[in-house]
């Protein structure tokens, strides 16, 4: 299924879009010359959309950033206060997106933007060491082919912006804490960039997705809709086999 601007509305933020999701096709191994000279074979612009955490990296990057920026004790206290919300997720009365919004509210409200951007730069320098070699090689291959590189991640702009610059990505779609007069106000700017929101943000950036040839790389259910929207979906292809 390909997405046009009018199609994505049918996916709710919590919709189960597993119908038609071909996990076998998505998990075919990818090597740098898989598609040959893809640019010469397509009359549409080619876009490569990469999830970040665990797809391109060997581990999660969000919680380590919180611990770096706020300290383990404060982060642990925030999680304890949100235990009731976590219980709602278990019984189906809430979801991970709502939990993340509440966690951002607990930790980011009133925090100085400049301080957390500096923490983000330091975190980026560390997590660049966590990039999977196969993922970096694939991104570099797309770049040499003249394809547009887009990172699409539920992680935060505070550290993904410097990562994208280092890796040569053209665009970043991600979760962004909201700012008000040089401090964070405890809200998100838009939605958590996960699930259907990834497709919505891709459409906002690219327009009608049927007018481009889309390669997508992901590792989890949070990437399902993006993979379903792609001409070339790739699930967990960078993990050692």
- pLDDT-derived band at 12 (thresholds 50, 70, 90) equals very low
Which two structure tokens, joined as six digits, stand for 100? Answer: 């993340």
Residue 171, in any domain of the structure? yes
pLDDT digits (tens, 9 = 90+) for 134-193: 999 999 999 999 999 999 999 999 999 999 999 999 999 999 999 999 999 999 999 999
| Residues 216, 58: Cα–Cα separation, whole Å | 18
| Residues 53, 18: Cα–Cα separation, whole Å | 21
Write down how long the chain is: 241
Count of beta carbons in the 10 Å neighbourhood of residue 57: 21
Count of beta carbons in the 10 Å neighbourhood of residue 94: 17
Residue 157, in any domain of the structure? yes
Task: Give the CATH number for residue 127.
Answer: 3.40.50.1000
Give how many domains the chain has, as a whole number: 1
pLDDT digits (tens, 9 = 90+) for 69-107: 999 999 999 999 999 999 999 999 999 999 999 999 999
Residue 148, in any domain of the structure? yes
Q: Provide the domain limits for residue 206.
A: 8-235
| Residues 93, 77: Cα–Cα separation, whole Å | 23
Residue 3, in any domain of the structure? no
Residue 214, in any domain of the structure? yes
Give percent of the chain with pLDDT exceeding 90: 81
Residue 2, in any domain of the structure? no
Q: Report the predicted TM-score, pTM, of the whole model to 2 decimal places.
A: 0.85
Residue 33, in any domain of the structure? yes
Pairing of strands 148-156, 46-50: parallel
| Torsion angles phi and psi, residue 231, rounded to 5 | -70, -35
Residue 54, in any domain of the structure? yes
Which two structure tokens, joined as six digits, stand for 65? Answer: 């950033």
């Amino acid at each position: 299924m390909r997405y046009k601007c009018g199609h994505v509305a049918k996916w709710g933020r919590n919709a189960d879009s597993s119908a038609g999701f071909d996990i076998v096709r998505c998990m075919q191994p990818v090597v740098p010359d898989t598609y040959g000279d893809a640019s010469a074979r397509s009359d549409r612009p080619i876009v490569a959309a990469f999830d970040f955490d665990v797809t391109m990296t060997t581990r999660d990057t969000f919680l380590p950033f919180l611990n770096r920026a706020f300290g383990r004790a404060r982060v642990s206290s925030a999680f304890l206060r949100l235990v009731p919300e976590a219980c709602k997720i278990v019984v189906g009365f809430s979801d991970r997106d709502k939990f993340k919004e509440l966690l951002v509210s607990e930790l980011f409200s009133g925090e100085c933007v400049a301080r957390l951007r500096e923490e983000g730069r330091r975190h980026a320098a560390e997590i660049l060491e966590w990039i999977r070699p196969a993922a970096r090689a694939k991104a570099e291959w797309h770049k040499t082919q003249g394809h547009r590189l887009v990172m699409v991640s539920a992680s935060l702009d505070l550290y993904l912006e410097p990562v994208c610059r280092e890796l040569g990505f053209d665009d970043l779609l991600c979760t962004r804490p909201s700012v008000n007069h040089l401090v964070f106000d405890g809200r998100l700017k838009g939605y958590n960039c996960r699930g259907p929101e990834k497709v919505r943000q891709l459409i906002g950036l690219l327009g009608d997705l049927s007018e481009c040839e889309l390669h997508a790389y992901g590792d989890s259910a949070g990437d399902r809709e993006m993979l379903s929207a792609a001409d070339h979906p790739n699930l967990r292809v960078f993990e050692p086999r």
